[in-house]
């Protein structure tokens, strides 16, 4: 049984997956069950008549990559981002052969900004959110991620592909119509390298994959045939949630239709629980995948997972300066609250 928060002392935890230290300081918080979003997200604050993501307004969008199904009455579309962070029109960089020189006296590295930045429009209807979809429909969104990842992987210069969703303006969403994004990079970001280093360290010490070894019942929220949902051992944020395959899988695009529907059901449940318990907070979710190219030895310990972060607290100077986060809610307390919340899901 979790210790009441008011009697718990601060402690530091290092997560074996993210390789990051987190300070748990319950004295800085109210009761975990009292955590609520101060600015709940209103998903319908834009007019559907002026929204380019709504069905009938396709002409207002950047070029389409594909739609499902491939007819006028689509259920989801994948399009280019109208304001991309990277350009798919640049010459493909060859990072291994050396970086370009720069005009700053050679200080730092420069790589051409080649890459992909796509938008996945999850529904044709403005008022419908991802959590409103049926599990099979959420599964279709996940399979669209898989399909687009497989297409992008054909470009040898792409090293890492990030799938993410920003829900709510304070979580970074510029459009209220339900959507997610995919950015493909010509480099492997440092957070990804640090995560792989953490997984490798655990594997070298135990001979086992760190995410395959998640067994603590105190951290478990919900589980299905193929996936489990946990509050991570060293959660950086209050009520942070991970959904991870129960089976060992290094790359998200190994997902098949059956597992996608199973994941869709669990994702719907968790988003519903989070909205009910935390007052419909803005949130981000990210699929933490392995780099496109990994060695056979790295496949033994690299394991993808989906991370959900409700926006309940801000990030201050200490976190930005140290890279060490302060979390006022112990993960076992958060897991217990979400685990005991009963939200029926059909489908």
Cβ neighbours of 250 (radius 10 Å): 18
Element (H, E) at 120: strand 116-121
Q: What angle do CA 17, 251, 171 make, to 5 degrees?
A: 65
Alpha-helix residue ranges (DSSP H) falling in the chain? 135-152, 190-206, 257-278, 296-299, 317-322, 331-339
Active site residues: 179
Coil vs helix vs strand at 339: helix
Q: What angle do CA 219, 221, 223 make, to 5 degrees?
A: 115
What one-character DSSP code corresponds to residue 108?
Answer: S
CB 341 within 8 Å of CB 252:
no
Q: Which tokens in the block code for residue 138? A: 């959420």
């Amino acid at each position: 049984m979790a210790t009441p928060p008011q009697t718990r002392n601060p402690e530091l935890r290092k997560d074996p997956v993210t390789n990051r230290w987190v300070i748990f300081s319950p004295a800085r918080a109210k009761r975990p069950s009292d955590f609520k979003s101060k600015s709940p997200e209103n998903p319908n604050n834009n007019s559907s008549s002026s929204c380019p993501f709504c069905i009938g307004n396709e002409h207002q969008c950047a070029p389409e990559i594909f739609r499902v199904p491939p007819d006028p009455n689509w259920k989801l579309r994948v399009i280019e981002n109208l304001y991309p962070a990277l350009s798919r029109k640049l010459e493909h960089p060859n990072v291994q052969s050396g970086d370009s020189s720069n005009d700053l006296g050679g200080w730092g590295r420069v790589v051409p900004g080649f890459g992909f930045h796509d938008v996945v429009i999850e529904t044709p209807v403005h008022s419908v959110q991802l959590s409103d979809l049926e599990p099979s429909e959420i599964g279709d969104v996940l399979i669209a991620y898989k399909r687009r990842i497989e297409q992008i992987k054909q470009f040898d210069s792409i090293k890492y592909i990030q799938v993410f969703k920003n829900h709510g303006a304070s979580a970074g969403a510029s459009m209220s119509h339900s959507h997610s994004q995919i950015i493909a990079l010509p480099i492997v970001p440092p957070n990804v390298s640090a995560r792989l280093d953490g997984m490798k360290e655990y594997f070298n010490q135990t001979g086992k994959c760190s995410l395959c070894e998640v067994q603590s019942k105190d951290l478990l929220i919900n589980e299905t045939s193929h996936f489990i949902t946990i509050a991570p051992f060293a959660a950086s944020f209050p009520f942070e949630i991970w959904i991870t395959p129960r089976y060992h899988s290094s790359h998200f695009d190994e997902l098949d239709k059956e597992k996608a529907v199973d994941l869709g059901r669990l994702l719907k449940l968790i988003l519903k629980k989070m909205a009910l318990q935390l007052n419909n907070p803005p949130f981000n979710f990210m699929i933490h995948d392995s780099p496109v190219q990994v060695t056979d030895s790295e496949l033994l310990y690299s394991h993808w997972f989906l991370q959900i972060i409700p926006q309940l607290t801000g990030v201050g100077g200490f976190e930005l300066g140290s890279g060490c986060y302060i979390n006022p809610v112990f993960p076992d307390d958060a897991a217990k609250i979400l685990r005991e919340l009963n939200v029926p899901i059909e489908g």
